[in-house]
Structure formats: structure tokens, C-alpha cells
Structure 1
Amino acid sequence: MSKFKITLLSLLAVMVLSACSEDTEETNPEGADTEEEMETESESHDEMDHSDMNMSGSGEVPEDLEEAENPTYEVGSQAIIEADHMEGMSGAEATIVGAYDTTVYTVSYTPTNGGERVTDHKWVIHEELEDAGEEPLEPGDEATINADHMEGMDGATAEIDSAKETTVYMVDFALTTTGEEVTNHKWVTEDELSAIE
């Protein structure tokens, strides 16, 4: 094979690889690592991308959200986070800020800001869905999201992927990767926490 053909093939390979990486790379204006990078390391994310996730929250909750009467993890106590919704979350020591009994959903939706469709986002609670009624929604149902956990989420039409009744927690924790403090993070479910031994 001539040097010209080898050079041409090498150049084409570099261009193809470069184009692939540009298509999959997303930027995060807050400087945090993207969820997409984590997905290549673990398949437990169910194709979630939280690069635009608002990790810290205001602490405000919907008015009709009921506080848990007997939560496994009481407000003010500590627990270990077993979930990996974002890099640096799994293994972090959380302080429980709030505990609420509700129905939690994984949802898929197309962001209102025109971003790519988000699938199996964890979690949106029943009280964050507009006009959802009293009864829990079923997989396949649709509802409008009234929460801004991620950019482009508020006002988007969500398709319910799964639903379960449980206790959800709002937590404070420091990312295990950077030490960055995250406050009033919504939401972590009871089975995503474990007791500190």
C-alpha cells in the first residue's frame, strides 16, 4: 500500500473518531462531570443523562406533599447514598433534610429547551406533576412536569416509565469526587440509602 493511501486512511480514521466524540460530548456550564461519562462505566443508569441537573435545590417542596410519619431515616440523621444519579453521589454520606411519603416515578420527556430526549429520569414525585389527581399514575400515562431538577424539565410532558409508593428524601451531601457541597437534593428513595455502620 502506498504512503499516500496509508496517510489518507489515517486521516479519515482521525476525522471519524473526532466526529464521534463531538456528537457524544456534552458540556456542563457548572463544571461538573457529565452523567454520560458515568454511563460508559456503569449500566445502572438506564441511559439517564444528568449533565444539566440542578444538584442543589431551594428546599421548597409542593404544599400537598406529606411528611413521612415514621421514616427509616429521620430528619437530621445520616445515611450512605447508594444511588449514582450523578458522579460523586454513590458512597457519599448524606444528612437527611426531609422525608416524605409519596409515589415516585421514572419519566421520559423531551426538554422544553430543545435538548435531546431524556429517558428513565429518576425521580419525579406525584406532587410535581400537574393535575395528576389523587391516584398514582401508571406506566404509559402522560403528565406535565412542574419541577426544575434539570434544565428544560419544567413544563415538559412526561411519559411515566415506572411508579412506586415509597418514602423519598431530600438530602445534603458532599460529592465524593470533588468535595462540592450539594444541598436540598431532590430526590433519593429509601432503597437508595443505607445505614451508617
Structure 2
Amino acid sequence: MANKFMVGVISISAALALSACGGEGNENTSQNESTQEETNEVLKEQEAGVDKESETGMDHATMNHSGSGEVPEDLKEAQNPTFTVGSNAIIQTDHMPGMKNAEATIVGAYDTTVYTVSYTPTTGGEPVKNHKWVIHEETGDAGEAPLEPGTEVTLNADHMEGMQGATAIIDSAEETTVYMVDFTSTTGEQVKNHKWVTENELSTK
């Protein structure tokens, strides 16, 4: 009798152990399936050319594509620009969707120092990294140009939502001619007085 009782206990224990192992196996299978799904999503994004970090760094949905045409009072007009006011050029950069390869009309040409800057919008949200471009005359009481990378400045530009009044760090500086341009994007958007495009971001037709 005792032997039968022991056999029964052992059988129940074995059944419970197998049940536990089976549950653990199901859990592992579920985790593996979830991990595989996440991996597949990442691969899809990479194949589509989606870069999450760059999306965070440059959210062009908040960019003011068209501008007022007003420029800082102390901004000097270029004396001998490669692209004269009223002439046409092809845009060779992609600050926003539909910009690259669009035909632009030059509205203004100015000699200045341009900066790429990183800042956190005054409206909150993720920091913006390496924004192109802010000119020296849009950096508040910054003193003489050019400013060294790493310099902290206050932005007096409103190219993007939350930019005006934000504290920024200069990432790079370049003395060049910058242009304000009108263009029709390759997606059909009419853009007026866009600020800014640098000389090496334009080409002749």
C-alpha cells in the first residue's frame, strides 16, 4: 500500500514538473516571437531608409518652410554673389522633403557666417541636432564672427517651432554667401523666402 502511495506521489510530482516546463517553454516561445517581431520592424525601417535618431534630430514637420522676407538690419548684402538676385539655381540639399533638385529663384544674397546648431526647443520635446542653418546675425548678442564650435548662444531665428529664444550650442561655423530663395518643392509645395541655402548647396541649371 505504501509503495502504491509513493508511486502516486511521484507520478503527480512528475506531472507537475512537466507542466511547469511546458509553461516555461511557452513563455520562452512567446518572448522569442516578440523579439523576432521587433527585429523585423527594425529591418523594415532600415530598408525604407528610416533613421530614428535623425528623425529626432531634425523634425522638419515643425519647420517654417516659407518666411517673411525680413532679414537682420546688420546683415550685409553680398557684393559679388555667384547667384545674383532674380537668377535661378538648382537646390542640391534636402533640408526638408521635396527640396533637393527643386529649381529656386534667388531672392537675396548675403555674406555672413553660417552655423549648424543644436538646441532644445522652447516648446519642449526632443533636442534638435545640427540644424542647418543659422546665420551669425541671428545669434543674439554674440559678438564678432565667427564663433567657435561649442559656444553657447541665444537664437533670434524662427525657422522652426520653438527655435526663437532657445539656447543653442554652435556645432560648426563657415564663412560664405547665404541665399534666401523661392521655390516649388518636388512635392508641389510653394515656398517663399526660405532661409537659408549656402552657396555650395546650389548649382547652375
Offset of residue 38 of structure 1: 6.9
Post-superposition offset of 1:146 = 0.3
| TM-score scaled by length of structure 1 | 0.79
Of 180, 189, 195, the residue aligned with 2:198 is 189
Q: What corresponds to 2:131 in structure 1?
A: 121
| 1:69 has 2:79 as partner | yes
Q: 1:138-180 CA deviation, whole Å, 9 max, x = no partner? A: 000010000100001000011000001000000001110x211
1:56 aligned residue:
66
1:39 CA drift (Å): 5.5
SS at match of 2:62: coil
Query: In structure 2, what is the Cα distance between the partners aligned to 1:118 and 1:142?
Result: 15
Following TM superposition, by how much is the alpha carbon of 1:135 offset from its aligned partner in structure 2, in angstroms?
2.8
> Which residue of 2 is the match for residue 149 of structure 1?
159
Contact conserved, 1:115 with 1:152, CA < 8 A, in 2?
no
For the pair 1:130 / 2:131, whether they are aligned, the reply is no
Report the residue type matching 1:67 in the other structure: E
Q: Please state if 1:98 is matched with 2:108.
A: yes
Q: Which amino acid aligns with 1:183?
A: K
Distance 1:162 1:7 in 2: 49
The equivalent residue for 1:168 is 178
Given that residues 111 and 177 in structure 2 are in contact (C-alpha distance below 8 angstroms), is that contact kept between their aligned partners in structure 1?
A: yes
**Would you say 1:84 and 2:94 are equivalent positions?**
yes
Output the amino acid matched with 1:169.
Answer: Y
Shift in Å, 1:5: 6.1
Greater radius of gyration (CA): 2
SS at match of 1:59: coil
Offset at 1:59?
0.5
The superposition leaves residues 36-93 of structure 1 with CA deviations (integer Å, 9 ceiling, x where unpaired) of x8764xx8x9x53322110000101001100101100000000000011111100000
- What whole-Å deviation, never above 9, does each CA across 1:94-121 have from its counterpart, x for those lacking one? 0000000000000000111111000100
Change (3 A) 1:38 1:192: farther
* Superposed displacement of residue 11, structure 1: 7.6
- Which of 161, 179, 196 aligns to 2:188? It is 179
Instruction: Calculate percent identity across the aligned residue pairs.
Output: 67
Question: AA paired with 2:194?
Answer: H
Aligned residues: 176
| Aligned-CA RMSD value | 3.0
Structure 2 unmatched runs, 5+ = 1-21
* Local SS of the residue matching 1:51: helix
Q: TM-score, normalised by structure 2?
A: 0.76
How far apart, in 1, do the equivalents of 2:157 and 2:102 lie? 24
Cα distance, 1:136 vs. partner? Answer: 1.4
Q: For residues 96 and 90 of structure 1, what CA distance do their matches in structure 2 show?
A: 15
